[in-house]
Amino acid sequence: MFFRKKAKEIVSLNLTAIDQKVIARKNQEIDAEFFENLLQMAAVKEQKMQAIVDLPVYQHLQLILEKPENRYLLKSAGTKKQLEDYLSAISLPELVIKELNWMQRFEYVYYHTLAVTLLVGVVSLEVFTGRDERLLAIGAALTHDLGITRVPRVILEKPGRLDEYEYRLIREHPNYSCILLTYYFREMEHAFAQTAVAHHEDGLGTGYPKGVIQENPTAQIIRLCDIYDALKTARPFRPAMSTEKALDILAEEVAAGKVNALYFDILHSLAGSQKSSVTGVS
C-alpha cells in the first residue's frame, strides 16, 4: 500500500466526508490501523453505484470538450466518440457523485478537474491499449482532487504567498483524496485512491505528499495533465501562461527526470498546434 512507504504521517485538520461523518481527526496518524478503522466506519451504510452519463458532471464534460479552445483534444471524430464511450461507462459511488456536485462550489477546482479528465482521457488513448486501463485513467482523473475541497477556501484563493501552514495543507490534499476515496469505495488500496495519493509525486522523488519516486503510470499522466492545465489557467496569484510557456516548463521537468518523456511527447503533439488564449500564438 502506498501509505506504507513512509513511516509516520498525520492529518493536519479534521476531515469530514460528504455524509457529514468525521473520518479523520486533526493530528491523527495515517497508518494501516487508520485505514482498517476507516473501512469499519464505511461498512455501516449500504451505498449504490451511479452511472455519470445522466448526471450534470457528464454534461459539463461535454460542454468543455465542445469549446473552440479545446478542439485540439479531438484529433478525429473517432477520438470524441471514444471519449464519450469511456465517460458514459463510468459508475461511481453515490457519495462520490455528491462530492463532485459539492466541488462545483469551488469553480476553478471543478472545471480544472474536468479539463484534466478530458486531457488524461485523450493521452490514455495513446498510452494504453486496454479498455480497463483507459477507464481507470479517466475515472481516477475525475476523482483525484476530491480532497482539495477540504483545504480552506481562503487558502485555495489566496492571491499572495502561502505561509508554512497553508503550504502544508495544500501539499496534504492528495492524502485527503485517498482517505475520502477509500471510505467511499470501501476498499483497501482501491485504484482510484492509490492514484489520488500519488498524483503529485514525480520521477525523482521530489514531489508530495511523501516525496517518493513515482511508479504509477496513471498518476504520472494525471500529474502531467494537471500541471499543464493549471499553468494555462489564470490563478489569483498569477496570470495564465501561453501554450508555449507551459510546454517549456514541462520540457524542463522531462529533462530533469521528473516527467515521463513519452507522455510529454503525446501531450506536446496534442497541444503544439493549439492557439494560446494569452498571446495569440501557438
Which candidate, 180, 182, 214, 181, places its Cα nearest to that of 198? 214
Average pLDDT over residues 205-228: 96
DSSP symbol at 280: S
Could you tell me what percentage of the chain is helix, strand and coil, using 3-state DSSP and rounding each to the nearest 5? 60, 5, 35
247 vs 98: CA distance, rounded Å: 34
Note whether 273 and 75 are within 8 A (CB): no
pLDDT value, residue 3: 43
The continuous run of DSSP H or E covering 222 comes out as helix 217-231
Beta pairing partners, 3: none
Residue 199 pLDDT greater than 90, yes or no: yes
Which candidate, 196, 244, 243, 232, places its Cα nearest to that of 216? 196
pLDDT value, residue 77: 74
Average pLDDT over residues 160-184: 95
Q: Is 162 exposed, middle or buried (0-12, 13-18, 19+ CB in 10 A)?
A: middle
Could you give the 3-state DSSP secondary structure of residue 23? strand
pLDDT value, residue 238: 87
pTM for the model stands at 0.92
pLDDT value, residue 180: 98
Residue 160 pLDDT greater than 90, yes or no: no
pLDDT value, residue 56: 96
Residue 24 has phi, psi (to 5 degrees) of: -155, 140
Q: Which residue has the higher pLDDT, 267 or 277?
A: 267
Residue 279 pLDDT greater than 50, yes or no: no
Could you give the 3-state DSSP secondary structure of residue 243? helix
Which candidate, 121, 151, 109, places its Cα nearest to that of 11? 151
pLDDT value, residue 274: 61
Average pLDDT over residues 222-240: 92
DSSP assignment of 116-140: HHHHHHHHHHHH--SHHHHHHHHHH
Quick one: residue 20, left, alpha or beta (phi over 0 = left, psi -120 to 50 = alpha)? left
Q: Is 66 exposed, middle or buried (0-12, 13-18, 19+ CB in 10 A)?
A: exposed
Place of cell 504521517: 9
pLDDT tens, position by position, 246-255: 999 999 999 9
Residue 48 pLDDT greater than 60, yes or no: yes
Alpha carbon 234 to its chain's center: 18
Which candidate, 194, 224, 223, places its Cα nearest to that of 1? 194
Residue 75 pLDDT greater than 50, yes or no: yes
Angle CA(272)–CA(274)–CA(280) in degrees, nearest 5?
Answer: 115
